[in-house]
Amino acid sequence: MRLQDLHVLMTVAQAGSMGKAARILNTTQPNVSRAIGDLEHALGVRLLDRHRQGVEPTECGRALLSCGAAVFDDLRQGVQRIEFLADPTAGEVRIGSTPFLAASFVSALIDRLSRRHPRIAFHLVTGYVEPLHRELTERRVDLLVVRSPGPNTDERLDFEFLYEDRYVVVAGAKNPWTRRRKIRISDLAEETWVLPPPESVIGSILEKAFRAGGLGYPRATVVTDSPHMRVSLLETGRFITVFPASALRFLTRGRALRILAVELPAARRPNGIVTLKDRALSPVAQLLIDNARELAKPMAKRK
């Protein structure tokens, strides 16, 4: 079995057809078919099902693709290790994170590490936690900086706690609610909210808070996942939102934002680093984890 043939199979599976894979690989379709045929002959099994819409992996094909992803990932990690030994100030790391952590903690982490090692390249993927887990298990990122996946976590993943975050209701300094010393969540039902989608973690926290007061989910004037847009709208003094408290430490430096005096029930989440078990980390990824621990230490102590 040749690595080149395995690479061809992975490209075909990703492209969904022999023709598309040939164009990606800058070769001919007969060459692609020959490589797949050589693999199937060597293993004695069918790896792809052909149909009018293209091709898709068989069960045996999916098993080989999973191994192939690990093989090429190990090769990439090995090359990075050699590059790091040759030049400990260079390398690359691929990070997955949620929009808020990416805009706050991860941005501060990258700033810290890039000042110390300016030749390191950072690749950041953002999204919700579940899709990010797939990015990690399929080895498209090296690690995740996310909230805890909870008790039903994937057995293939390791979670290292960094710090616990609480969630707070926030407004701009010019908002009249900032002058109130005590606020019930029900008082804010008709306010001008800027919120992420209801299916997000913040959405579930807010729904629980309003339900406890006998109310439904508040009507959001603006629905967005963008932390920076929400900060900009808060600065007008008209909007309110829910933030992780750590965002006020990292995301809102120099911004006049205030935490409102309202309690959110059970609004705490542990944040940390998720890695794939039995996968060797590159030296640059390990360097990033070491710096994440240092950066999170003051917040972990305040817990």
The whole-number pLDDT of residue 59 equals: 86
Asked whether the beta carbons of 282 and 81 are under 8 A apart, the reply is yes
| pLDDT over threshold 80, residue 222 | yes
Burial-class residue 222 by CB neighbours within 10 Å (0-12, 13-18, 19+): middle
Percentage of the chain surpassing pLDDT 90?
33
Confidence of residue 126 (pLDDT cuts 50, 70, 90): very high
The whole-number pLDDT of residue 159 equals: 93
Mean pLDDT of the chain: 86
Q: Which of 44-58, 166-180, 229-243, 277-291 has the lowest mean pLDDT?
A: 44-58
- Which whole number is the average pLDDT over 61-77? 77
Confidence of residue 49 (pLDDT cuts 50, 70, 90): confident
Asked whether the beta carbons of 46 and 60 are under 8 A apart, the reply is yes
The whole-number pLDDT of residue 4 equals: 83
| pLDDT over threshold 60, residue 182 | yes
- Which whole number is the average pLDDT over 60-84? 76
* CA-CA-CA-CA dihedral for 47, 50, 54, 59, to nearest 10: -40
d(CA 150, CA 192): 32
Please name the helix (run of DSSP H) or strand (run of DSSP E) that holds residue 139, with its range, or none. Answer: none
What own/partner pairs with CB < 8 Å and gap ≥ 24 does 41-49 have?
42/1, 43/1, 47/9, 48/9, 48/12, 48/13
